[in-house]
Every structure is written in structure tokens, then in C-alpha cells.
Structure 1
């Protein structure tokens, strides 16, 4: 992957400018500065919710990627402590043992405000870690004609710092979730799949098993939550985990990822559709059916994908178990494109790659790693 074009020599100056601008723009009277979850948050979901709110809030004003993971870690530690000592501040409902999302959001944003004010002090600023090398990332999302945006994405730089994992390896995480039947499943995955990844007993020693755990845990947790809080829908998922010279791709459904090197496009994902012979056989062996409906092969006559997170009415035929691929990188890769079928149904892989190259030629410092 290509390196950043931005010099890191004046990173403290960049940090100082961010903190000054962030604090200057804080509106203490804004009761809803970021989107909150539509569901009550239980203890096992707390870390994912904290990260989600923190990153939304920091990125209202562009936060340097190298600061995001460090500030998120500080916020996680502070909010966990508050939840133990003064849980009512975080919105704990004692009887239900869940946190009210609005109160939790307010506690998190208040903590972010306090941390950013603290680093206006130059003596504290100098204690911040220098930036690590992170791939450049560009994101695009279009709602089209739908009433609500059902897709989500997540970008996390330096997972080990964010989750306080004692490992010097830099781990970057990128994911795209294509929701259907509502936005609930995609929103839940974008908030929690990375959390369950890091919480797996196999992380960081065995990334493939950790990714499998993360998908299955996310699916199970969403199903359990659906029965209690009436969450709906399902989502495809494709996640990329970049660790040293290895790229791990995990997916369910028909969102895809392409790795491009010297103009050569390598498709890393074999989409989960009922037209795949092995998927068709799996569904039929479990007692499901695959039938043609409006010219498309569909599971039980409804879904055109054979694996997804969520889609509770169609379990177990719609599996949440991912396929995973590991690719060893040699340093000559140009970029990675991750996208849902909203792109791939209209733009083939080679055309997408050519468009990225065109953008790179127009501005060499904007090498796209995610679309």
C-alpha cells in the first residue's frame, strides 16, 4: 500500500490545531451532537457504543487518524470507571441492567470535551504519542432513492492502541455493511463487530479464528437483541484487517473487495448467493428451498443472498458464518476497494480500479483505499 504524502514532522502542531478548533466549536447546549443507537445498551455492548460515539464526535471536525485510537482508549477507560462509581451518569437503568443510549452519549461526549480541553495545555500535548503509519482512506456513500440510509462503514486505525492491547503491531480495520429490510443490522455491526473481534480469545494471535468469532458473536447478539427490542433486517458484511504484511478479508453476503496491483485486479471475495452450488446444497440440506422469484434465485423465495448477519426469520438458512481469506502482501499493492453491490452491480472491478487510478493521477496524495 502507498504511504502517506503528509509529513509527520509537525504532528504536535497538527494536534494542537485540532484541539483548539474542537474546543472552540463545542456547544455545551447541544443535546444530540451525534447519532445514538435505537436500542438500550447492555454491559457487553458498552465498549462498542463508546467508540462509536467518540469517533462520530471527534470527526465532526477532522481528527488526525493517529489521535483517534488514543483518545478513544482514554474515553473507554474513563467511562468504564464512571459506570462503576456513578452508573446513573451513564444512564444505567438498574432494573433492566441496560444503559439509556442518550444519557450514555452525553456522558461520552462530555468526557471527550474534557480530554480535548486538557490537551490545550502544551506540556500535556508533548506527551501524546507520535503518529503511526496509517494507510490513506477515502469513503463514499450514496443513499439513492431509499427513505433511509441502510448501509454503514467503519474505519479504525490502530486497534491495539484503541483497545489497550499490549502488542506493538499496528492493526487497521475497514468494513462495509450493506443493510436490507432496515438499517438496524448494519448499524449494529458497524458498532460492535470490531469490539467482538478484539474480545475474542483468539485475538491477536489468530486473526482468522478471531474474525470468525466476531461474525458469529455479532450475529448471535443481534438475534438475541431482536427478540427483546424489535430490531429488524439483515446486512451483508465485508471486513478487511491489515496486520503487517498480511491482509485478512472476512465476508458474508455479496459485498466484495478487490486488491489492485499495477493495474491487475484481484477479486478477494466469492459472493454468498443461492446460485453458488455449495450454498444451494447447504440450504437444501437444512430444509430450505431456493426458488426463482422475479427472475432472481432467492432463499425461501425472499432473499437473493445466502449468508448475512441478522435476517432472523430466515435463520438458519441465511448463515452468519463468514468465509475468510488471508493474502500476503509484497508491498507492490496499489489500493484496496471495498464496496457493496450498490457499486459492483453498476461498475465492474476493472472500471472501478481505473477510476481510482485517474483520481490518483489528478492528486497523488489522495490514494483511495476504501470506496
Structure 2
């Protein structure tokens, strides 16, 4: 780990020996033209992570560098980057929103990131890399036959380090967002929901409440952006947070998470679908309706009953997330997160056998060294291929978070077998 960190720092210093000069192109493009102060946190962290990941930075070191650079940015006077109010904008609530010129303020952030990285490379002993998280993650996504890819995902084993959370308990965050009507809502949720979660006072005392509030805050924040930029998209989402030997799942819509324990599928949640009895009643009690138009839809429009965005159909399409909590006993194999493009073609009960076969093909019977964990990356890819072969034409995203070493899973499967 130390050798990998030193190697990255050396390469980075060679590429960025000094601050970016004014007027030169940024090495990574900002996500937005204008950002609010509230959005600056998520967009800066995402920009930093993208820049460092593209240059092979270890994830733990990247998280610490991005957090340090963001902390320094927020100590600056940001008023020089405020946007002038646009002519003809007479809406009071819009006038209250402070918008920043994204490219200008992100140049300052990236220069802070360069400055921090240079300082750490010069005195590496004061900034040893954090221990790597043990959870191995396998992700694969495809556009499939759809015209555009509207799924987004995020895997943050270094949740505390990236968000500057001081806690003795490590937290790991995983999320899949399935956008519709465009990718904007999914991109927004993947950029901001984990930041919103980190700001919840109840995160340590009532994690389920914190997750629900984070979904709500992200929906409210996206409403402002959608209004300013005339966006109409929406996204379902499923988030898994692992901390203190507990696994929390929060979700909106029909993206799902499931657990496999001892080779057996464990249900963690009930997806929000328009034809689910309680969802149908909720919509109808509000004066809406559920109709069948190729599939069940809310008011004849959206095929989801809860989502971030879709503001033309709020409150029928609710922004209120649900949450479940599962105690981790130590015998769990992995948790799988996926969009409906996967679960519409694959039954949860099929997953343990599919993963067992994928592991067998990827790793075989040879002893698995911890350094060979990259073999697990092929598991998600094979699951995605299976869903496509099963008839899915939608975007497909599959993420597996292994809760024990792959070697143990292979040993367990060879001795006991996995029941379908």
C-alpha cells in the first residue's frame, strides 16, 4: 500500500509540478456550469476523485486528499465566484440562491488538491496512507439496447475519510441509481446523496433516519437545479451503508439490494412499484391513479411510484425513501445491488448459484491469494451477461460487495454447495 501511494505521488508531481495557470484548460471537466454553495461539496469531491482515479491513486489516499483540498477551499472567500443575477429573473426564491461560476471555483479547488498532494509527497512520513478497506467490490454496467446509459453507481469503502467524519467505526457506502427521462437526476444523486448523508446529525444515533433525510434533501436540492436548468428527469436509487456490524438499506423505486448469507438469498427490501398494493392506495388517496400502459404507470406516465426528481408528478411519485436494518453476524457472503434491468430478468433466488458459477469460472479451484482479488471483478460482468441473455433490454448495473474473502466463499461452496 505504501509503495503504491509513493508511486502515485511521484507520477502526480511530475504531471502537476505547480498550480494550474489561469486560462489553461482544466484537466477534468466540471459537472455543471453553475453550482450552489450546497452543491459545491459534492461536485468538488467528485471532480477530485475523478482526477485522482484516472491517475491510479489508491482509493484511501484519494479520499483523504480530496477532503483536505475541500476543507481548504471552504475556508476561502468564495464571493468573487458569485454569478450575477440573470436579467428577467424576478422570482424571489431564485434570487435567494447564491450560484457560483463552476469552472472558476473548481480551478481553485483543483489547485488546492495539487497543493495538498505536493505537500504530502514532500513529507510522506507525516501522511501515511490509510489501511485499505477489506470489502472487495465487483461492478459492471452496460447500456444494452437502450439509446443512452442512464444508470449511475458509487462505491465508497472510504466514506468516513472522504467526508471528513471523525468516528472509530469505519463506514462503507454503496449506491446504484437508475435514471429515466435523462441521466441528470441519476448523476445528481450519485454526486450529492452521500454528501447529504454525511451532514445528517442523526447519522451515528439513528442511521435509518439519516438515510431517509439524505434522500429527501437530495430530492429537494435537485428540484432547485431542475427548475433553474429546466430538467425533467428522475431516478430510482438504492443505497447500502455498512457500519458498526449493521447493514442499512435505503431505497426509492425499483432498484434493489439483496443479501446472501451462507449461500442463501435474504430479502432486505420490497421495491416500490406502482402496482404494489400500498403504493397504489397511496397514489389513489392523493387523487392519482395507476394505469396499465405496457406496464403499470403512475397517472399514465412514470413506471415508478417513488423517485428523486419527476417533479411534474410529485407527490404521486414520492421522494420519501424507505429503510431497513440488518445485523451482520459474520456469516454473510455478499450484498448485491442492481437496477431493475437486472432484476426484471433474474430472480433473487437465482443469484447465489449464478455467483457461485461465476466465481468458479473466474478463479477456479486454485488457492486465492488476497492479491488476486481482481478475479472477483468478473463476477458482476457474468451476472450482467446472464440478465441480458435472459431478455433484459434495459440499462443494467450490478454491484457486488463481498463481505468475506473470495477464498472463503469458494471453500464454502465446494464443501456445502449453494442451493438455488
Q: What's the TM-score, normalizing by structure 1?
A: 0.88
Query: Which string of whole-angstrom CA distances, capped at 9 and with x for unpartnered residues, describes residues 343-362 of structure 1?
Result: 22223334443343334343
Q: Say if 1:37 and 1:285 are closer, same or farther in 2 by CA, change over 3 A.
A: same
Match of 1:57 among 40, 51, 54: 51
Cα distance change on mapping 1:181 and 1:129 into 2, 3 Å: same
Whether the 8 Å contact between 1:12 and 1:126 is mirrored in structure 2 is: no
CA offsets, 1:9-61, max 9 Å, x none? xx221210121233344596972433422352111122111111111111112
Please list the CA deviations of residues 312-355 of structure 1 after superposition, one character each: whole Å capped at 9, or x if unmatched. Answer: 11100000101100000111111111110122222333444334
3-state DSSP of counterpart to 1:139: strand
Find out whether 1:75 has 2:65 as its counterpart: no
State the distance in 2 between where 1:278 and 1:57 align. Answer: 44
The C-alpha deviation readout for 1:270-322, integer Å capped at 9, x for no partner, is 1111110000000000000111112x111101111111110011100000101
After TM superposition, the structure 1 stretch with the greater mean CA deviation from structure 2, 35-44 or 318-327, is 35-44
Query: Structure 1: which 5+ residue stretches go unaligned?
Result: 1-10
**1:23 is aligned to 2:24:** no
Aligned-residue Cα RMSD (Å) equals 2.3
Contact 1:153–1:175 at 8 Å: present in 2 too? yes
CA 1:168–1:311 in structure 2 vs 1: closer, same or farther (change >3 Å)?
same
Distance 1:101 1:13, change over 3 A: same
Q: Deviations over 1:211-255 (max 9, x none)?
A: 111011111121122222212210000000000210000000000
Q: Does 1:203 align with 2:199?
A: no
The 5 Å alignment of 1:164-243 reads: 164-243=164-243
Q: Which has the larger radius of gyration?
A: 2
- Does the residue aligned with 2:325 lie in a helix, a strand or coil? strand
Aligned residue for 2:335? 336
Q: Is the 8 A contact 2:133 2:158 kept in 1?
A: no
Q: Is the 8 A contact 2:5 2:129 kept in 1?
A: no
Which residue in the other structure is 2:259 paired with? 259
Aligned partners of 1:143 and 1:171: how far apart in 2? Answer: 30
The within-5 A match list for 1:276-315 is: 276-294=276-294, 296-315=295-314
The unaligned stretches of length 5 or more in structure 2 are 86-96, 381-398, 401-420
- Indicate the larger mover: 343-352 or 60-69: 343-352
CA distance in 2, matches of 1:61, 1:36: 17
Equivalent residue, structure 1, for 2:38: 44
Question: Could you tell me which residue of structure 2 aligns to residue 327 of structure 1?
Answer: 326
Deviation at 1:87, TM superposition (A): 4.7
Query: Which segment drifts farther, 145-154 or 264-273?
Result: 145-154
Is the 1:238–1:249 contact (alpha carbons within 8 Å) kept by the matching residues of 2?
yes
Whether the 8 Å contact between 1:12 and 1:125 is mirrored in structure 2 is no
User: Residues 68-126 of structure 1, C-alpha deviation per residue, up to 9 Å, x if partnerless?
Assistant: 321121011121123x2x653xx4326573122222333333322222222322x3345
Q: Which residue of 1 aligns with 2:347?
A: 348
